[in-house]
Amino acid sequence: MAAFEYKALTADGRRTSGVISADTARAARKELRDRQLTPVALTEARGEKALGFAGAGRLSEKDRTLLTRQLAVLVSSGMTIEQALTAAAGDSDASPQRGLLLGVRSQVMEGSTLAEAMRAAPRAFPPLFRAVVSSGESSGRLGLVLDQLAHHLERSYRLRTLVRSALIYPAILGIMATLMVTALMVWVVPKLVEQFAMLGADELPPLTRFVIGLSGFVRDWGLFVLVGGAICLYLSTIVLKAPAWKLRWDAFVLRIPFFGDMARKVSAARFARIHATMSGAGATVLESLSGARNAMGNMVFRSAADQILEIVQRGGALSSAMKSTGVFPQMMVHMVASGEAARNVPAMMNRAADFLEDEFETATNVALGLLEPMIIIFLGGIVGTIVLSIMLPIMQLNTLALG
């Protein structure tokens, strides 16, 4: 059965397009008419077009999450992989994504597994994504595994969206306030200094002298500091690509109060979720640990996963290996030990991931709720200091004039 891209008119004259599966073009047109659609254009999505997806761009996190959920629903409803891919391609409004899905479908119909077909588009389907799909296909529970994977992607995307949306207003507030303070230091303060000199105010208060000196530094060296900071930031990104420096940085981040605890919970939850998903799909313990290890962005947790993998290969218990690393939360270690005793580690891993993600979300909401007033108070203090430094010499001059 081939896939055809169509453009058609609905009964009320509106234009629509999509993808339809049929044995021949004639059968495809008949199917469209049965759907009360009048075909305008019908082209077969042949291999050369479909296989162009190998050079396609990457899917956004949102698109990958939506696609995973859609495939999970379609496959769980009883559709074959080919039918699910065709339906997903037909619902896609973006031509690149439609071509991507048709390309995957074309290779599946040629005998490849879904994971093998996705390997031709590594930027759209990362290695971890393909490993989880492969585990689901091997165990014969692809629908369940896609559902679990979609749940993981949805939680991750929701947390990132929560943080980004909550930071928008504080970021705008901080930028505007910084620009205002910079304008005061560069243009307003120097003008007032000239006025003080004209009035003969030789002895200025210490706060005023400090602000005047800072204003001069900003005017003379501010641009150099800005450029230097940008260069240092760029060099830091290059240095942190080296594993040794990345490991040191990640270890430092985990020691920072509050932020280190949040980073630890996110990494531990990701480890637990991927391990549970792959293990529940029928992967071996070593395969699940390898997949969880590859999902770690934090080098400390990646090194810990390597250590766990070695201990488990020698016959050690998973909970004991996790405890020996010293990086996983104690609660998670205890839950894994309980799962080992009950011979249901994947369920306990999922519970641990849910608990850690809920804790992270709660702490993030509280922190972001406090961030806005803290920024306002901090920047208000800076502006107040500048205003006070301007008012003090004026008050001093008034006192001298009255005296």
- pTM as predicted: 0.71
Half-sphere exposure of 353 (CA within 13 A, CB side): 23
Domain that holds residue 95: 61-153
Same domain, 74 and 177: no
Same domain, 99 and 233: no
Same domain, 32 and 73: no
Same domain, 30 and 76: no
Decide if 324 contacts 337 (C-beta within 8 A).
no
Beta bridge partners of residue 21, listed in sequence order? 3
The rounded distance, in Å, linking the Cα atoms of 73 and 146 is 9
Decide if 278 contacts 295 (C-beta within 8 A).
no
pLDDT tens-place values along the chain, 403 residues long: 566 777 777 877 787 776 666 667 777 788 778 878 887 777 776 543 444 444 455 788 888 899 999 999 999 888 888 888 888 887 766 667 777 888 888 788 778 888 888 888 888 888 888 888 888 888 788 888 888 888 888 888 888 887 787 778 778 887 887 888 888 888 877 777 676 665 555 567 788 878 888 888 888 888 898 899 999 999 998 998 888 899 999 999 999 988 899 889 989 998 998 888 888 777 788 888 888 888 888 899 999 999 999 999 998 899 999 999 999 999 999 999 999 998 888 889 989 988 998 888 888 888 878 887 888 888 888 888 888 887 887 777 666 555 5
Beta bridge partners of residue 129, listed in sequence order? none
Specify if 159 maps to a domain: no
Specify if 83 maps to a domain: yes
Same domain, 239 and 343: yes
* Structural domain count of the chain: 3
Specify if 167 maps to a domain: no
Decide if 254 contacts 263 (C-beta within 8 A).
yes
Decide if 101 contacts 5 (C-beta within 8 A).
no
Same domain, 86 and 135: yes
Of 270, 278, 295, 71, the residue nearest 156 (C-alpha): 270
Q: Token pair for residue 256? A: 């920072």
Specify if 161 maps to a domain: no
Instruction: Give the pairing of strands 38-44 and 15-22.
Output: unpaired
Residue 319's CB is within 10 A of a number of other CB atoms, namely 22
The rounded distance, in Å, linking the Cα atoms of 182 and 164 is 26
DSSP state of 188: I
Decide if 169 contacts 376 (C-beta within 8 A).
no
Same domain, 145 and 281: no
Residue 24's CB is within 10 A of a number of other CB atoms, namely 12
CATH of the domain at 391: 1.20.81.30
Specify if 134 maps to a domain: yes
Decide if 281 contacts 144 (C-beta within 8 A).
yes
The rounded distance, in Å, linking the Cα atoms of 94 and 67 is 12
The rounded distance, in Å, linking the Cα atoms of 160 and 310 is 33
Which strand (E) or helix (H) includes residue 7? strand 2-9
Specify if 342 maps to a domain: yes
